[in-house]
Amino acid sequence: TSPFAWLRTRFYYLLIRLYFDQEFSVEEFTRGAKQAFSVVSKLLSQRKLDLLDGLVSAEVLQVLKEKISLLPDSHRDALAADIDSIMYTTEGDVRIYYDDDGRKFVSILMCFWYLNGASLPDEVPGGAKVFQIVFGDESTKEKKHLLTANYEFQREFTEGAKPDWTITRIEHPRLLE
């Protein structure tokens, strides 16, 4: 992350604590985001989209239903991320905004890098190379792919609104396109 982007996100986190939620914690949010990412990615992989209701916005869920049905099994398997296989997590963007009715929202884009053992080709459409990591010696060699995913979490902070974060964007580049 660039120093400017890091400072910008920290400034937004300060605004969130000052004006929306005095108990907001970046560390706690990141822990929850990792758990949500793991659960949602596994449910996507298993095609259990009905269990995503309430976790994922209705608009995103509709798009996912169309995309998941068209995925080959190898790509669908590669969506699943066990929480222990998440190698790195960072914030991509933080936004604070108001809609036309005066409702207040916070949106945080989280970027995840995770290892997955799905059987993927070395190159995927578009000519992009898939990073591979090999564990063990020749007799017990296990190949894993280093994959990325971007999930955007949104919460309404209007008085009386439910205090739940909802996933409003799901991207698994080169897998879920």
Per-residue model confidence as pLDDT tens digits over 51-77: 999 999 999 999 999 999 888 988 899
- What is the structure's pLDDT at 139? 58
160 phi-psi bin (left φ>0, alpha ψ -120 to 50, beta other):
left
- What is the structure's pLDDT at 136? 59
Token output for 117: 């053992």
Residue 176 domain flag: no
Total domains, the chain: 1
104 burial class (0-12, 13-18, 19+ CB within 10 angstroms)? middle
The residue ranges of the chain whose pLDDT is under 70 are 1, 121-142
List Cβ neighbours of 2 (8 Å cut-off, separation of 6 or more). Answer: none
Residue 154 domain flag: yes
- What is the structure's pLDDT at 118? 80
Residue 150 domain flag: yes
- CATH classification at residue 52: 3.10.450
- What is the structure's pLDDT at 127? 42
Residue 148 domain flag: yes
112 burial class (0-12, 13-18, 19+ CB within 10 angstroms)? buried
pTM of the predicted protein model? 0.88
Residue 177 domain flag: no
- For 26, the domain range is 1-169
Residue 175 domain flag: no
